[in-house]
C-alpha cells in the first residue's frame, strides 16, 4: 500500500523535474547564447555607438582616450560626467586629487582632459529655484 502511494507521488514529480530541465536547457539556448552588451564591450573596450564610448558613456570627441585612460583608472566615468565644471574648477579639482587622492602628475594631458570635459560637459546654466511666495503656512498639531 505504501509503495503505491509513493509510486503515485514520484511519477508526477519525475515528469515535472524532467520538463523543468528541458525548459531550462531550451531557455539557455534561446536567451543565454545571445551576445550581451557587456560581452561586446569586453571584446571591444573602445566601441563607439551613436557618438558614445559604450564602456564609459563618454562622448566621442578629441581627448576621449586621454580622459578614459586617466580618469577611469580611479573612479567611474559617471562621477566625471555628473560634475560639470569650468576650466578653473576642473584644474582646482585635479590639484585637489593630486594633493589628497594620489593622482599622478598629468603633464600635457591635463590640458587635454580639461578641454575635453569643458567642451563636452560644460557647467549647466541653472541656479536655485525661485523663492516660494504666497504660501499659507499652517501649524501641525501633535
Q: Are 79 and 60 in contact (CB under 8 A)?
A: no
Please write the tens of the pLDDT for every residue from 58-92. 999 999 999 999 999 999 999 999 999 999 999 99
Please write the tens of the pLDDT for every residue from 90-117. 999 999 999 999 999 999 999 999 999 9
Which residue in 73, 86, 75 sits closest to 115, CA to CA?
Answer: 86
Residue 139 has a CB neighbour count (10 Å cut-off) of 4
Q: Are 77 and 120 in contact (CB under 8 A)?
A: no
Please write the tens of the pLDDT for every residue from 23-32. 878 777 777 6
Q: Which class for 123: exposed (0-12), middle (13-18), buried (19 or more C-beta within 10 A)?
A: exposed
Amino acid at each position: 500500500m505504501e509503495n503505491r502511494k509513493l509510486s503515485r507521488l514520484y511519477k508526477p514529480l519525475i515528469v515535472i523535474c524532467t520538463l523543468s530541465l528541458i525548459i531550462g536547457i531550451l531557455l539557455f539556448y534561446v536567451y543565454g547564447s545571445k551576445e550581451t552588451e557587456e560581452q561586446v564591450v569586453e571584446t571591444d573596450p573602445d566601441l563607439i555607438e551613436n557618438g558614445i564610448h559604450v564602456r564609459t558613456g563618454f562622448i566621442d570627441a578629441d581627448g576621449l582616450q586621454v580622459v578614459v585612460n586617466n580618469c577611469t583608472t580611479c573612479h567611474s566615468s559617471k562621477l566625471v560626467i555628473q560634475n560639470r565644471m569650468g576650466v578653473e574648477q576642473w584644474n582646482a579639482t585635479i590639484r585637489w586629487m593630486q594633493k589628497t587622492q594620489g593622482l599622478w602628475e598629468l603633464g600635457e594631458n591635463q590640458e587635454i582632459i580639461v578641454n575635453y570635459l569643458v567642451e563636452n560637459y560644460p557647467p549647466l546654466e541653472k541656479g536655485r529655484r525661485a523663492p516660494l511666495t504666497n504660501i499659507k503656512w499652517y501649524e501641525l498639531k501633535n
